[in-house]
Structures are given as structure tokens and as C-alpha cells.
Chains A and B, each alone.
Chain A
Amino acid sequence: MFLIGHGLSVRSDLPIPEWLFGWAAAMVLVVSFVALAALWPEPRLQAPSWRPLPGEIGRVLASRPVEILCGAIGVFLLALTIYAGLEGTQSTTANFAPIFIYVIFWLGLVPVSVLFGDVFRAFNPWRVIGRAVAWMARAVSREELPAPLEYPAWLGRWPAAAGIFCFATIELVASNGDKPETLAIAALVYSALSFVAMALYGVERWIERGEAFSVYFNLFSRISPIQTRDGEVGLRRPLSGLPQLEPLPGTVALVAVMIGAVSFDGFTSKRPWNSISPDIAQFFQDRGLSPEYALELTFLLGLIGGVLLVAGFYRLGVLGAKSVGGGFSARRLAHEFVHALVPIALAYVAAHYFTLLLFQGQGIVYLASDPLGEGSDIFGTADTEIDYTLIGADATWYWQVGFVVAGHVAALILAHDRALALYNDPKLAVRSQYWMLAVMVGFTSLALWLLSSASV
């Protein structure tokens, strides 16, 4: 058994050289200081801003036929993934399921959401099937269906946090997480759970709060200037969707899982991890676990450690902000600022995985022609190969640093804007932000360290 952080990694990026690492960190400091220097004295992002696209485009894009077409594509892709995973070859890179789930879906939908808004909502196969079933049930029974149970307030986004954690566990911990069959079975189990939950709590409520991928991509889509409202696509200020995020229970946990999982994936290629993890695995093996389980347990502990570290660090920042006064509880402050961590999560995903998307994503060209890996050639593209010369190491480094710095700036702006709105006294707002600044700089330094050549 071999675990190399990511089941698909046949190529990995060269670490960012130290000199560039240094300049990037320095840039983060400058930006932080300047942003704090009262260049933004009034809150500007708190009020919703939205206007429809000119003409009829906005209505056409959100119309019923487009909705049905997108939904059909979503359901088809889910079915194809499960079918290919169960029936196709069990080689990771020759089967449609792993590349589609880990690269096209999980990574590809992130930039799509950030640029074009909550696109996944339209394609979400679980939502489409849930709605279709409800519609048919209404048509058959010819009366209103019984109202769903009330979604418990304490549950909030906890199911989504748990779902993303399970996904990360399959991706980063399970030794067979890159096997097509594993993924197909996971997709079936997840679909069944989703249908049960939608039947209990109602389709839209579950999609909004519990369905892990809807919640995940929706968080990123709040960065986008495009938003659909009342059946019409329109424009809003970039980032202005995030302050509207309802701070439900579990939101901090969800964001901590998002950042923690990427951090752990980066950390597994680092020397500290590679020197201690065999010892931990040996410890479990000595207590009677098989080598495979021992290694999986070690990785699971590492993943949990990464998530707890991120959550704990945010908690420290919140306690610091509480200490400046203003009479807010730590819980309240944690909820008031959690939306600012979303751009940081985006920066982590983008910097770590954009080359994986760029290179392994090309695999979908040959997989579209041969989804089962059994020699078919539907579109005549089965013989294409991945072009690994698409982007060089230098360009990769600059993009990575660019993503990290941009995410940091966006997070700073959001936290600053919220502080201005939250505290009556601008002085208190600024003082609370020194703590948030420390949190943001800490996260950014961690991201850069994970990408850099320091202690590879």
C-alpha cells in the first residue's frame, strides 16, 4: 500500500523557492498594514446589492427549460459515475469515476462557482431527483404532500461539515479511496442518505443546509458577482454575498474542515510528517492493527489534527478580539467573522490544486470517449494524452503566491468591513481587527509554508 497524499498524484508541483516565499510573505504584511490604515472607513459590503442582467438574458438563464436541461445533465453524470465505478476498469486514471469526482467535480466546480455563482445548484442531481419525486408524488396523490419535519435549529450546517469531512477522509485517508468501486459505492450511500434527509426535512431546506456539496460550492459562489434571485440572474458586488451568510451552528466547523483538509494534504508531503507518521503507524501496529489500518488511522488522526488546528487558531483570534471589549460573546464573534475565512479556504484550494485541475483535468477528454477504460472510443478522443508542458514551474509559483495573497486581501476586507458594522466605536473596530489580522496572517503563512521548499 502506498499513500501519497492524493490518490491521483502522478505529478506534483515543485516547491516554491525560498526567495519567492519571502517576497510573498512580505507582500502579505504590506497589504495587511495598508488595508488597516483606514482606507476603508465605512462598511460597504454589508447591505445586499443586486440588479438584474440587462434585457431578458437573466430570465432566460434561470428559465424552466434551462433548469430541466441542467438537472438532466447532473443526473446523467451521477449515473455515469456510479456505473463506470462499478462496471469499468479498476485502474484509477483509466476510469471515469475518480477523475470526474476528484478533479472535474470537486476541484473544477470551485473556480466555476467563484466566477459564475451557484452553478452547482442547477446541476445538483440529488436536488433534481428530490424535486422530481416530490412533483410526481403530488401528481399521483392529487393533494398537498404532508409538510416536512422542522429542521432543528441546532443542526445548522453540521451535516455539511460532517459530509465534507467524510469526503476528505475518503480522498486523503482511505487506502482504497482512489479505487473506482469505492467511489461508486460512496456515491450510492451518499445519494441514499440525501434522499432520506430530503424526505424528512424537505428538498430545499436540506440542500441549503445539510447537503455537503451544495453548501460547499454555495460558500464559494458567494464570492462571485453573479447571483440568481427570484428566477432571474443578476449582478452584485464581488464578495458581497459572503456578509449575507447566515451564521448557523456548524459553519465554523465546516470552514475549519475545508481549510484543515487542504493543509493536511499539503503537510503529508513535508518532512515533519514523513518522519513521525511511520512511528505513529508502528505504534498502532504494535497494538494489533494490520499495517494498512494502522496507516489509515495515522492519517485520520493527522486529518483531525489539521482541522482542530485551524479551528483552534480561529478560536484564539476570536478570544483576542473579545478581549478588546464591546460586550460580544466569543460565540457571537466567531459567527460574525467566519464568512471572512471563505476566501482563505478558496486560496488554499486554488494554490494547492490548480495544477492538478489543469493537468489531470485533461484526462476527461479521453475518459469521455472511454469512460469504463475498456477500449471504446465514442467521440474519437480516446487516444489523447495529458500535456504536462501546459504550465511551467515558474508560472505555477507566481499563480500560487497570487492566489494566497489575493485570498488574504479578500479575507481582510471582509473582516474589516464587518468590524466597522459591528462595533459602534471605530477605535474598538480597529483594535479587534489586530487580532483578526493575526489570524489571517497566520493562515497565509501556513499556506505559503506548505507550498514552499522549507522543510520539504
Chain B
Amino acid sequence: MTRSQRIGLIVAAAIVAVVGFVVVSPGGKDGSGNSALTTPSAGAEGQTKTEAPAPSAPVVARIQIRGGEVAGGPPEVTAKHGDTVVIVVSADAPNELHLHGYEVEQTAKPGQPARFEFKANAEGEFELESHTAEHAGLDPLVATLIVEPR
């Protein structure tokens, strides 16, 4: 086999490999975007609700903290870049809350929920944490905010 034949063979193999890979690899670009707005089941047990129907409607999440624990576990709140996000946290004891990245601090009190309302303009995964839980040596995670590109 001459050198040029060998190169030809390798290039042909490369093309086959790539075409094969693209054919076999799951999902196209369109396929990945659909699941973005569904709410993960962890937090969706009636206690927590996340909804994002049309781009103009705000993404609303309601979270309850009882006895220092997030009812139903810390949910994921998913929004798209530019969405208005409203996160309402009610608690049965005073609770100091901090939304990292967006740097908003609010305190929830019994009968007086903390309300976070902001425009999701920084993409990535951010944590909403309870300083009160952290100081008590508990898991501080209250919710995870996921902002995806539009």
C-alpha cells in the first residue's frame, strides 16, 4: 500500500467514523431544548410549583420551609435568559435567605414570606441558600436556580 493510498484510507475511515457518530449520537439541537421548561419531580409534590408557559409570563416558584427543612426537598427553578423570575419562600420561623449570583438577600418570617423578583440575565446554576440553616450547621440549600440561554 503506498503512502497516498494509506492517507486516503484513513481519511475515508475518518469520514465514516464522523458520519457514524453523528447518526448514532442521540438527539439534535431541537431535541435538547424541549425538556428545559419542565419542572423536576423532586420539588413538585404539591408544595412547590414552577411554571414557565410563555416567554412573557414570569417564572413563579413557591417554596415552604417547615422546621428548618424545605418541604419536598430543595427544588430546581428553571428559567430562560431574560425571563422574570418570582420566588416566594414562606417559613414557620425567621429565615435569612441569600440568592447567590443575583446577590439578593431577603428574610422570611412567619406569615410574611420572602419574595425574590428579578430578571434572569446571568446564565448558569445559582444557589438560593439559607444563612439561618448554615449557621445552625444544616444543609443551607433552599433551591437551585437554573438560567438557560434563550
Mark A residues whose CB is within 8 Å of B: 1-2, 10-14, 17-19, 21-23, 25-26, 29-30, 33-34, 36-38, 355, 385-386, 388-389, 392-394, 396, 453
Contact = CB atoms under 8 A, between A and B. Distances in A.
A388 B101 contact: yes
Interface stretch (B5-13, B42-50, B89-97, B105-113): B5-13
Given A2-B140, A37-B7, A394-B149, A11 B21 contact: no
Given A29-B17, A33-B14, A36-B10, A11 B125 contact: yes
Contact of B10 (A11, A13, A33): A33
A11 B14 contact: no
The 7 closest A-B pairs by CB, nearest first: A22-B25, A388-B122, A10-B100, A33-B14, A393-B123, A17-B32, A12-B125
Nearest to A430: B6
A392 B149 CA distance: 7
A1 B14 contact: no
Contacts, number: 97
6 contacts: A14-B148, A19-B28, A22-B22, A22-B25, A388-B122, A392-B123
A431 B124 CA distance: 44
B116 interface: no
Contacts of A34: 10-11, 14
A38 B100 contact: no
Contact of A385 (B103, B124, B147): B103
Given A19-B29, A25-B21, A393 B124 contact: yes
Contacts of B18: 26, 29-30
Contacts of B101: 10-11, 386, 388
Given A2-B141, A10-B127, A388-B101, A26 B21 contact: yes
Nearest to A41: B3
Given A22-B25, A30-B14, 5 more contacts: A10-B127, A11-B126, A22-B21, A29-B18, A34-B14
Contacts of A389: 121-123
B27 interface: yes
A330 to B, nearest CB: 28
B14 A29 contact: yes
B117 interface: no
Contact of A14 (B21, B121, B146): B146
